[in-house]
């Protein structure tokens, strides 16, 4: 498992989904339970990149193990 | 060159639909009216739309129409000529207007075509005809049902084949097509590559002729192998380019031979989220919800209920193309390679002239594509038909001879049509199919009755006789040419030069007929030498 940091974004594609947009410009499609109140916040995600397919098609798929809001 | 005639045509088998007073209970209605009924869909119970379970007699119809419980009784099958369809939300489907889906609806599909929707599953929401969705399968671990728990797959299937002209909800592009639900994405919208690969294999095994892949990811060898295998077996594969908003097409749309689809907005510009790249084959409406009403609206699930929802994405663009492929296959417009060519040739070239990385060959245009099919098929028929007539005339046949020959053609046409499934010229279909008959009677009507009537009708009029016989022969040779056409579809000489040859033959024969018209006139009906 690795840590990924960026802005958590609710994306209106298809039936909707979540993405993490990192400072370096990478966009990850997020698979997992995402608390909706964190939308738009800077977060740290502990997860794993998966060889996964989906309808989001925004970038590599990150399976989310845990998610935490970045406070400072 | 050809009149493009569109007359009302059948969309689905005749099925009476009864709209009862809202809030009616099925059991009460059955008891009161003494007719077995079923709701159009369980979720339409509030609107009280029902089908009778057995055929209605005239007496039944009268009784129903007189009943205060019945608001409307009708066979909701007719497509309105050029007036669009009666689905109330059709006016919001800018996407269908843009690609001229109406021209597709006005054709008469000859063959049933199955489109596999390899996605989050498909649920039979109310705006599907009850025979559209085939039994499906799920490859998703922990989700046994092929029903949709997300909403994406149902929306995608909706664009392809939701019930059209049923006075309810929305329209779709190929309402005749059957949907095979292959679930490979979970309720969250993700799936493992081995599920997707297994789903592709299964779809091909189950006889799907078109695969809709509104999904993608990083390149996966096992998915690409499955796609290559599907393509080799003659299946048309349509896949989404991706939603990164950047250059770089998602796999498996990158596999050579796959139709890779980018997304456009209501202004015919690339949607801001759409991926693009050299692999993009074609663009289709995927919507842009930042513009009012700019999404793609279909009936899909919404929690435990259904709703008409606007979605956007290259996922939404992809089924526009898959449905068009299904429509062309149902019209027997050619082999998969021909179908792809027709779709590309018919596309409206937008963006940089010629093929470009954003729009591929252009934006999907069903109207132009169907007209291409009609022109190609019509030219071939006319060419082959006039070739025979030319030969007959040049050989100096007499009218009695011609009558015998044409009679043989009628008999041959009537015999062969149902056996071989001869093509009819598409531009003649609306005329051929206006009579509400089917089976042998329909075959006889098309191949023998029309020309016989023309010939018999012209016999008492010596000056018209030559015309009657010629028309009769041309007509019947159309059907004989259908046999040749059928063979040519699978032969290597099928191609552009054949069109030019036929065009030449058509023109030369027309000139011969004109000169014949000037010289014919004797009452014996002989062609002067």
B217·A13 Cβ contact <8 A: no
CB count within 10 Å of CB B282 equals 27
Q: Which of B215, B223, B275 sits opposite A55 (nearest CB)?
A: B215
Q: Which of B119, B244, B300 sits opposite A57 (nearest CB)?
A: B244
pLDDT confidence tier of residue B406, bands split at 50, 70 and 90: very low
A30 backbone dihedrals φ, ψ, rounded to 5°:
-100, 130
Higher model confidence: residue B407 or residue B183? Answer: B183
Give the three-class secondary structure for B293.
coil
Chain B positions touching chain A (beta carbons under 8 Å): 119-120, 150-152, 155, 184-185, 188-193, 196, 214-218, 220, 223, 240, 242-244, 250, 273, 275, 289, 300, 311-316
A13·B218 Cβ contact <8 A: no
Q: Is A32 on the interface with B (CB under 8 A)?
A: yes
B70: CB partners within 8 A, 6+ apart? B18, B19, B20, B21, B64
Q: Tell me: the pLDDT tens digits for B187-244?
A: 999 999 999 999 999 999 999 999 999 999 989 999 999 999 999 999 999 999 999 9
What would you report as the CA-atom Rg of chain A, rounded to the nearest whole angstrom?
11
In DSSP notation, B363-382 reads: B--HHHHHHHHHHHHHHHHH
pLDDT of res. B35: 86
Q: Are B116 and B208 in contact (CB under 8 A)?
A: yes
pLDDT of res. B152: 98
B312·A54 Cβ contact <8 A: no
B184·A15 Cβ contact <8 A: no
ipTM above 0.85, yes or no: yes
Q: Are B33 and B63 in contact (CB under 8 A)?
A: yes
Q: Are B188 and B216 in contact (CB under 8 A)?
A: no
Report the residue of B120, B152, B279 to disrupt the A interface, i.e. the one with the largest count of A CBs within 10 Å. Answer: B152
Lowest model confidence (mean pLDDT) among B77-81, B352-356, B440-444, B495-499: B77-81
A49 backbone dihedrals φ, ψ, rounded to 5°:
-75, 135
The rounded distance, in Å, linking the Cα atoms of B431 and B425 is: 10
Q: Is A56 on the interface with B (CB under 8 A)?
A: yes
**Mean pLDDT to the nearest integer, A3-31:** 96
pLDDT of res. B116: 98
- Does residue B386 have a pLDDT over 80? no
Lowest model confidence (mean pLDDT) among B32-36, B264-268, B341-345: B32-36
- Does residue B6 have a pLDDT over 50? no
pLDDT of res. B39: 79
Q: Tell me: the pLDDT tens digits for A48-70?
A: 998 889 999 999 999 999 999 99
- Does residue B121 have a pLDDT over 80? yes
Write b or e for each residue in B76-109: b if 16 or more Cβ atoms lie within 10 A of its Cβ, otherwise e. bbebeeeebbbbeebebbbbbebbbbbbbbbbbb
Q: Tell me: the pLDDT tens digits for B50-74?
A: 888 888 888 888 888 888 888 878 7
* Rounded to 5°, angle at Cα B190 from B187 and B193: 135
A27·B192 Cβ contact <8 A: no
**Mean pLDDT to the nearest integer, A38-54:** 94
What would you report as the CA-atom Rg of chain B, rounded to the nearest whole angstrom?
26
Lowest model confidence (mean pLDDT) among A16-20, B247-251, B504-508: B504-508
pLDDT of res. B7: 25
The rounded distance, in Å, linking the Cα atoms of B173 and B238 is: 15
Q: Tell me: the pLDDT tens digits for B411-440?
A: 443 333 322 233 444 444 445 555 555 555
Selection from B266, B197, B295, B182 nearest residue A16 by Cα: B295
- Does residue B12 have a pLDDT over 60? no
The rounded distance, in Å, linking the Cα atoms of B378 and B447 is: 16
Q: Is A13 on the interface with B (CB under 8 A)?
A: yes
DSSP letter at B168 equals S
The rounded distance, in Å, linking the Cα atoms of B157 and B132 is: 10
The rounded distance, in Å, linking the Cα atoms of B446 and B108 is: 15
Strands (E) located in A1-72? 2-11, 17-21, 27-31, 42-50, 52-54, 61-69
Q: Is A43 on the interface with B (CB under 8 A)?
A: no
Q: Which of A12, A15, A53 sits opposite B215 (nearest CB)?
A: A53
Give the three-class secondary structure for B2.
coil
B155 contacts in chain A (CB < 8 Å)? 14-15
A29 contacts in chain B (CB < 8 Å)? 190
Selection from B318, B332, B315, B325 nearest residue B346 by Cα: B325
pLDDT of res. B77: 39
Provide the mean pLDDT of chain B. Answer: 78
CB count within 10 Å of CB B75 equals 12
Higher model confidence: residue B488 or residue B265? Answer: B265
Expressed in angstroms, the distance from the first to the final Cα of chain B is 32
Lowest model confidence (mean pLDDT) among B78-82, B90-94, B111-115, B516-520: B78-82
Give the three-class secondary structure for B137.
strand
Q: Which of A17, A31, A57 sits opposite B240 (nearest CB)?
A: A57
pLDDT of res. A13: 96
A14·B184 Cβ contact <8 A: no
B526 backbone dihedrals φ, ψ, rounded to 5°:
-90, 145
pLDDT of res. B297: 98
Give the three-class secondary structure for B41.
coil
* Rounded to 5°, angle at Cα B523 from B519 and B529: 40
The rounded distance, in Å, linking the Cα atoms of B362 and B353 is: 9
How far is the alpha carbon of A13 from chain B, nearest alpha carbon, in Å? 5
Alpha helix segments (H runs only) across B279-365? 314-330, 336-346
Crossing angle for the helix pair B314-330 and B366-394, nearest 10 degrees?
A: 20
Nearest Cα residue in chain B from A54:
B190
Higher model confidence: residue B395 or residue A38? Answer: A38
As a dihedral over the C-alpha atoms of residue B112, residue B95, residue B371, residue B166, rounded to 10 degrees, the angle is: 50
Higher model confidence: residue B444 or residue B308? Answer: B308
A6 to A33, A61, A69, B159, B244: CA distances (angstroms): 17, 15, 10, 35, 17
Q: Of the ranges B151-165, B404-418, B432-446, which is most confident? A: B151-165
Strands lying side by side in the sheet with B37-39: B37-39, B49-52, B16-20, B70-75
Q: Which of A51, A54, A59 sits opposite B189 (nearest CB)?
A: A54
**Mean pLDDT to the nearest integer, B363-392:** 65
Strand partners, A19: A9, A29
Higher model confidence: residue B138 or residue B527? Answer: B138
Strand B16-20 vs strand B70-75: parallel, antiparallel, or unpaired? antiparallel
Percent of chain B residues topping a pLDDT of 70: 67
In DSSP notation, B443-471 reads: HHIIIIIHHHHHHHHHTT-HHHHHHHHHH
Crossing angle for the helix pair B462-488 and B366-394, nearest 10 degrees?
A: 120
Q: Which amino acids of B are annotated catalytic?
A: 119, 152, 315
A59·B120 Cβ contact <8 A: no
């Amino acid at each position: 498992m690795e840590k990924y940091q960026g802005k958590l974004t609710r994306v209106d594609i298809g039936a909707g989904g979540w993405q993490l947009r990192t400072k370096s410009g990478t966009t990850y499609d997020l698979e997992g339970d995402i608390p909706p109140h964190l939308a738009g916040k800077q977060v740290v995600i502990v997860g794993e990149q998966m060889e996964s397919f989906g309808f989001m098609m925004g970038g590599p798929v990150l399976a989310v193990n845990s998610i935490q809001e970045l406070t400072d | 060159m050809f009149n493009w005639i569109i007359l009302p045509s059948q969309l689905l088998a005749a099925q009476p639909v009864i709209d009862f007073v809202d809030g009616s209970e099925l059991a009460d209605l059955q008891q009161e009216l003494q007719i077995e009924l079923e709701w159009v869909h369980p979720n339409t119970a509030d609107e009280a739309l029902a089908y009778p379970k057995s055929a209605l007699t005239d007496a039944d119809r009268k009784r129903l129409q007189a009943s205060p419980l019945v608001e409307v009784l009708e066979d909701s099958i007719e497509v309105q000529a050029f007036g669009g369809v009666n689905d109330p939300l059709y006016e919001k489907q800018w996407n269908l207007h843009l690609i001229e889906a109406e021209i597709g609806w006005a054709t008469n599909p000859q063959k049933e075509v199955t489109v596999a929707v390899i996605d989050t599953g498909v649920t039979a929401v109310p705006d599907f005809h009850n025979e559209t969705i085939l039994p499906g399968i799920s490859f998703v671990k922990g989700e046994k049902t092929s029903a949709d728990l997300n909403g994406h797959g149902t929306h995608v299937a909706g664009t392809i084949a939701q019930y059209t002209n049923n006075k309810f909800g929305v329209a779709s592009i190929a309402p005749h097509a059957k949907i095979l639900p292959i679930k490979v994405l979970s309720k969250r919208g993700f799936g493992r590559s081995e599920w997707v690969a297994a789903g592709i294999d299964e779809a091909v095994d189950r006889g799907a002729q078109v695969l809709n892949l509104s999904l993608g990811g990083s390149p996966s060898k096992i998915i690409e192998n499955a796609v290559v295998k599907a393509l080799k077996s003659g299946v048309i594969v349509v896949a989404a380019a991706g939603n990164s908003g950047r250059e770089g097409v998602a796999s498996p749309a990158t596999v050579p031979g796959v139709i890779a689809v980018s997304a456009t907005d209501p202004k015919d510009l690339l949607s801001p989220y759409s991926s693009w790249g050299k692999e993009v084959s074609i663009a289709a409406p995927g919507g842009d919800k930042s513009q009012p009403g700019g999404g793609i609206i279909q009936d899909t699930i919404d929690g435990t209920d259904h709703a008409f929802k606007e979605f956007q994405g290259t996922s939404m663009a992809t089924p526009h193309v898959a449905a068009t492929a299904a429509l062309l296959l149902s019209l027997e417009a050619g082999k998969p390679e021909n179908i792809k060519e027709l779709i590309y040739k018919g596309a409206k070239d937008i963006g940089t002239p010629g093929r470009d990385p954003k729009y591929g060959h252009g934006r999907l245009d069903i109207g132009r594509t169907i007209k291409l099919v009609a022109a190609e098929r019509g030219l071939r028929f006319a060419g082959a038909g006039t070739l025979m007539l030319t030969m007959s005339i040049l050989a100096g046949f007499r009218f009695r001879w011609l009558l015998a020959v044409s009679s043989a053609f009628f008999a041959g046409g009537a015999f062969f049509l149902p056996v071989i499934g001869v093509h009819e010229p598409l531009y003649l279909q609306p005329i051929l199919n206006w009579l509400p008959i089917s089976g042998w009677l329909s075959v006889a009507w098309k191949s023998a009755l029309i020309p016989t009537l023309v010939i018999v009708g012209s016999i008492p009029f010596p000056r018209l006789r030559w015309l009657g016989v010629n028309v009769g022969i041309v007509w019947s040779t159309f059907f004989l040419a259908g046999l040749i056409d059928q063979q040519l579809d699978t032969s290597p000489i099928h191609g552009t030069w054949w069109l030019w040859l036929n065009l030449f033959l058509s023109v030369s024969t027309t000139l011969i007929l004109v000169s014949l018209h000037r010289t014919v006139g004797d009452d014996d009906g002989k062609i002067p030498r």
